[in-house]
Chain A
Amino acid sequence: MTLEQDLIVIGAGPAGISAAITASQHGLKVTLIDEAPIAGGQIYRATPQEWTPNTNGSPDQDLDDGNSLRDSLSKSNITHLTNHVVWAVAPGFEVRAVSDSKEIKLTAKKLIVCSGVTERILPFPGWTTPGVIGLAASTNLLKSQQILPSREPVIAGSGPLLYAVANAIIEAGGKPVAIADVGSLFDWVVSLPKLFAAPALLIRGLIWRARIFKARITVLHRHHVARVYGDDKVESIELMPIDANGTPLPKKKNIKIKSTSLIVGHGLIPSLEITRLLKAKHVFRAERGGWIPELDAFQRTSVSGLYVAGDCGGISGAKTAALSGTIAGLQASFDSGMITEKIFQDLYAPTESKRNKAERFGKRMGKLMSIRSGLLEGLTPETIVCRCEDITYGQIMDAVNAGAADCNEVKAWTRGGMGPCQGRTCGETIAEIVTRQVGDRDKAGFFTARVPLRPCTIDALAPVCSYDDIWNSDVAKVATAILPAENTEYKNSKK
């Protein structure tokens, strides 16, 4: 089935919804495509449709914000495809997605990518033990599935999510055993002036810290996970002191904590499979999350008709995402000739100043979550780096020492990053390991994006057909026509 549109928006988070609504208001025929059953993205992820909210429940800011976005989406005349996983995107643009073993093909002249972020989890010995989960995973469990990841977890990593998760666990009746922050208290204090750009969010953060303090939870700054013990379940966690770059300080004592759960995350990285696949130009900006597509002030990429909005254009948070989505939608409408330059300018100017203000807060948060290369110093040769293919740090180092000079060479030599997750989990780690050898991330590059972007079943892509259909196809006719005479046996057998 092929659907022709003016604009396709991929990802129904705050950026995607705002972009789709704006473009649709200006008369574009828009399809919004997303893999979740309900719109909202990760930040505003809704609880399942089967559930009903209790009226006496405590107020939830994210839920309210999400509901108002979903409300305006349902009032618009946007075609919203839920439960659709995009597995391929071709230039020009053709978007292919699967849902319930059925494939759908969409075409449009303009494409806005709002694919958001994935969490960066840097490996440490024992990180593959079941029971080690992501910080972002925990927010999902707490928010959308209303379940505690654990009652007494150890929480480790960097960025504001550490405290958001700890706070949510306390609120739900759990008590984290310890919080190990890669950053120091000083890192947070110097960020304060920039954080005043969003006072509401700053106050929220301070309330979290106060609640954690009140619950008497140990917060260890400048600590990273040294090792996780346990075979098919986490048994205990060893934390080690580190310096500002993340390098372990062997002279100081490690701390061993008994817990069956470790929640860990080292910041967010933009999901760029689609922009990479379309060969848009990318630049490396560590403080924005790593590789990001090169964008102008109007959210345009280097590829004509391709726009990027939200965190996948650089980490900056939900508020910036929504505003950048509005700008992308506006620009797409202008580029399609739906609005005049005057209207465009009138609408663009106020949104731009709001976005720039929101970005000040978001960028600072991005900086707190940026990668620290020393965090990989604690790896042992047996530590698995690529979880999908069970490729160890030792194997990757062997390839690098033998001359693999960029990420794709390591991938080809070791199979690291070639598994079903497409290198989303190990890509950052392998890039950092290669960087240590070649000097900078620009030289190390990134994994080339390949279809299928997400695993999908073959029967979804190839509809039911009989052998006669194949025989009667155009390809088969051409093939039989050029077959040499002595190979007519098969031809005759079909007559």
Chain B
Amino acid sequence: MQSHLPQLAPLRRECKLPETKTDLRIRGKFQRGKPVEFTFDGITVNAFEGESIATALLAADIVSTKLSVDGYPRGPVCHMGSCQECAVRIGGRKTLACKTKVSQGLQVEIDGLKK
């Protein structure tokens, strides 16, 4: 779908991909899905099928995922679809990062405008 929204200013942020020893994912109990790659605000993030966008961002140490109405940085709080603080944009459409699963090549954009 064509997005008619204004181009969003990228949030200045340093992103480091997780090293194996600091990886937050719990191994052992479950076999995760296939590895996938998606982008958040242009940054490539590695994830596994079945994970939510919010989980994958947490694992990639990206905690600031949106800008509030007054332009303050915010991140996911409730991880269950209640607080709406993890809102991101996919194809211009507002979506909750905690309720949307990652998929290969997904382009996720930050929500909110920097003031």
Q: Which residues of A contact B (CB under 8 A)?
A: 35, 42, 47-54, 56-58, 60, 85, 118-119, 121, 128-134, 136-138, 140-142, 145-151, 172-173, 231-234, 384, 387-390, 419-421, 424-425, 454-455, 457
Bound Cα distance from A435 to B55, whole angstroms: 37
From A42, A145, A454, contact of B55 by CB (8 A): A145
Q: Specify which chain A residues have a CB less than 8 angstroms from the CB of B73 in the assembled complex.
A: 129-130, 231-232
Q: Specify which chain A residues have a CB less than 8 angstroms from the CB of B69 in the assembled complex.
A: 388-390, 419
Q: Specify which chain A residues have a CB less than 8 angstroms from the CB of B74 in the assembled complex.
A: 128, 130, 387
Bound Cα distance from A47 to B48, whole angstroms: 13
Query: Does B77 belong to the interface (CB within 8 Å)?
Result: yes
Q: Say yes or no: A35 contacts B81, CB within 8 Å.
A: yes
Interface string of B12-44 (1 = CB under 8 A from A): 010000000010111011111110000000000
Bound Cα distance from A387 to B77, whole angstroms: 11
Q: Assuming the A-B contacts A130-B65, A136-B78, A136-B80, are A146 and B85 also in contact, with contact meaning beta carbons closer than 8 angstroms in the complex?
A: no
Shortest A339–chain B CB gap in Å is: 36
Q: Specify which chain A residues have a CB less than 8 angstroms from the CB of B59 in the assembled complex.
A: 147
Q: Specify which chain B residues have a CB less than 8 angstroms from the CB of A51 in the assembled complex.
A: 30-33, 50
Please give me the residue from chain A that is nearest to B31 by CB atom: A52
Please give me the residue from chain B that is nearest to A58 by CB atom: B29
Q: Specify which chain A residues have a CB less than 8 angstroms from the CB of B81 in the assembled complex.
A: 35, 85, 454
From B30, B77, B84, contact of A132 by CB (8 A): B77
Q: Say yes or no: B75 contacts A131, CB within 8 Å.
A: yes
Q: Say yes or no: B58 contacts A147, CB within 8 Å.
A: yes
Chain B: how many interface residues by the 8 Å CB criterion?
45
Those 6 A-B pairs whose CB atoms lie nearest each other, nearest first: A48-B50, A130-B75, A50-B33, A50-B50, A137-B79, A232-B73
Query: Does B87 belong to the interface (CB within 8 Å)?
Result: yes
From B24, B49, B87, contact of A147 by CB (8 A): B24
Q: Specify which chain B residues have a CB less than 8 angstroms from the CB of A149 in the assembled complex.
A: 24, 58
Shortest A150–chain B CB gap in Å is: 7
Please give me the residue from chain B that is nearest to A51 by CB atom: B30
Q: Specify which chain A residues have a CB less than 8 angstroms from the CB of B25 in the assembled complex.
A: 146-148
Query: Does B83 belong to the interface (CB within 8 Å)?
Result: yes
Q: Specify which chain A residues have a CB less than 8 angstroms from the CB of B52 in the assembled complex.
A: 145
Q: Say yes or no: B30 contacts A425, CB within 8 Å.
A: no
From A52, A133, A232, A384, contact of B77 by CB (8 A): A133
Query: Does B89 belong to the interface (CB within 8 Å)?
Result: no
A-B pair count, CB < 8 Å, reads 147
Please give me the residue from chain A that is nearest to B79 by CB atom: A137
Q: Assuming the A-B contacts A54-B31, A147-B24, are A131 and B79 also in contact, with contact meaning beta carbons closer than 8 angstroms in the complex?
A: no
10 contacts between A and B (CB under 8 A): A50-B32, A50-B33, A51-B50, A132-B77, A133-B78, A140-B80, A145-B52, A147-B26, A425-B83, A454-B81
Shortest A152–chain B CB gap in Å is: 11
Q: Specify which chain A residues have a CB less than 8 angstroms from the CB of B75 in the assembled complex.
A: 130-131, 133
Q: Say yes or no: B79 contacts A133, CB within 8 Å.
A: yes
Bound Cα distance from A85 to B101, whole angstroms: 16
Q: Specify which chain B residues have a CB less than 8 angstroms from the CB of A419 in the assembled complex.
A: 69, 84
Shortest B12–chain A CB gap in Å is: 9
Looking at B24, B32, B81, which has the most chain A CB atoms within 10 Å of its CB? B24
Please give me the residue from chain A that is nearest to B32 by CB atom: A51
Interface string of B94-107 (1 = CB under 8 A from A): 10000101000000
Shortest B21–chain A CB gap in Å is: 10
Bound Cα distance from A85 to B94, whole angstroms: 15
Q: Specify which chain A residues have a CB less than 8 angstroms from the CB of B79 in the assembled complex.
A: 133-134, 136-138, 140-141, 145
Bound Cα distance from A119 to B78, whole angstroms: 8
Shortest A478–chain B CB gap in Å is: 33
From A53, A119, A130, contact of B63 by CB (8 A): A130
Shortest A138–chain B CB gap in Å is: 8
Q: Say yes or no: A137 contacts B77, CB within 8 Å.
A: yes
Looking at B29, B31, B99, B101, which has the most chain A CB atoms within 10 Å of its CB? B29
Q: Say yes or no: A52 contacts B30, CB within 8 Å.
A: yes
Bound Cα distance from A42 to B79, whole angstroms: 11
Shortest A126–chain B CB gap in Å is: 11
Bound Cα distance from A100 to B101, whole angstroms: 13
Q: Specify which chain B residues have a CB less than 8 angstroms from the CB of A56 in the assembled complex.
A: 28
Bound Cα distance from A48 to B76, whole angstroms: 19
Query: Does B46 belong to the interface (CB within 8 Å)?
Result: no
Q: Say yes or no: B68 contacts A390, CB within 8 Å.
A: yes
Bound Cα distance from A49 to B80, whole angstroms: 17
From B13, B78, B94, contact of A118 by CB (8 A): B78
For the A-B complex with A85-B81, A147-B24, A232-B64 known, give 9 more contacts whose Cβ atoms are closer than 8 Å.
A50-B49, A53-B30, A57-B29, A121-B77, A134-B78, A136-B79, A138-B79, A390-B72, A421-B83
Bound Cα distance from A136 to B85, whole angstroms: 15
Q: Say yes or no: A146 contacts B82, CB within 8 Å.
A: no
Q: Say yes or no: A130 contacts B26, CB within 8 Å.
A: no
Q: Assuming the A-B contacts A47-B50, A51-B33, are A131 and B63 also in contact, with contact meaning beta carbons closer than 8 angstroms in the complex?
A: yes
Shortest A226–chain B CB gap in Å is: 19
Q: Specify which chain A residues have a CB less than 8 angstroms from the CB of B28 in the assembled complex.
A: 54, 56-57
